[in-house]
Amino acid sequence: MSNREVVVLSVGGVRFITRASTLQQFPESRLARMLNDDDREFKLVNGEFFVDRDGALFSYIMDFLRTLQVSLPTDFSDYQRLQREAEFYGLYPLADLLSQEHLLKPRLEILEVRFSLQEMQAFFRIFGSCSTTVEALAEQITVFTGQQSGQSWNSPFPSQKTLVPLPLERPSHHDMVFQCGAGDQFLARYVSIKPDNRKLINGTNVLGLLFDTLLKDGFRLISTRTISSEEKVECYSFERMKRAAGLPVTLNQTPGSSGVAQAKRSQVQKGK
């Protein structure tokens, strides 16, 4: 490859190697003009372009040029500084998006699990602030019904008889209801939560598996309280920070043009 196809930059002492075509994604930017020696801010030293700017923030600039998306870590907080860097490099679509912090900041999700144990049956109700998270969890949970065949409450696995899957009760997009345990006429309900293949009848075991599933998905338990001591209803609250989806921009935008409108459309299309 020729020297023009590979470009080496030293930004604040941090070295970056990339393709010339990556830096030319936005032809009006200073990075694109740099390749034509049209900007004195960028010094060519020993075959490397030296830039006296923040090298750590430039890694996000490079990620944007490579993916044409703004996707930042959940703990990122330097929106204004990164916006100034984007403006310095003449990447105005990126600067426009960074000015809309509410589109890029991670969101706090709350999930509440209500658990009631009544004789040989356990009842679950799950509420979530994010409907897409509740929908994804509902796809993982399956309730099966079938003859118990004399098995006890503590029996961990169902008999070999055929079990029939039941649809989960969905009062709204933000919650779901299901139950497990032994009912009347030797009918039993078992719960399976993917990727675990077991079918559990014991409500305490199902609750433990549900906790494991939520913790592995990034949630953390923040509180436990008793809602009704008479009905033995316990409430477990979880939370997690959900990273904002990457927001795309279009190419061939002129300096000062806004990528905010497209970003907002993209955010709406992704749902709540």
Identify the segments of the chain with pLDDT beneath 50.
Answer: 1-3, 153, 253-272
DSSP letter (8 states) at residue 158: -
Specify the CATH architecture of the domain 6-104.
Answer: 2-Layer Sandwich (3.30)
Distance CA 34, CA 23 (A): 9
Looking at residue 156, its pLDDT comes to 52
Looking at residue 155, its pLDDT comes to 52
Copy the structure tokens of residue 58: 């430039």
Looking at residue 266, its pLDDT comes to 41
Q: What is the pTM of this model?
A: 0.61
Looking at residue 258, its pLDDT comes to 43
Looking at residue 100, its pLDDT comes to 82
Q: For 152-165, give one letter per residue: b (16+ CB within 10 A) or e.
A: eeebeebeeeebee
CATH number assigned to the domain covering 108-149+159-242: 3.30.1410.10
Looking at residue 244, its pLDDT comes to 64
Task: Evaluate the CA torsion angle 31, 37, 42, 45 in order and state its sign.
Answer: positive
Topology alike, domains 6-104 and 108-149+159-242: no
Domains in the chain: boundaries: 6-104, 108-149+159-242
* Beta strands 69-70 and 141-147, pairing class: unpaired
Copy the structure tokens of residue 1: 């490859």
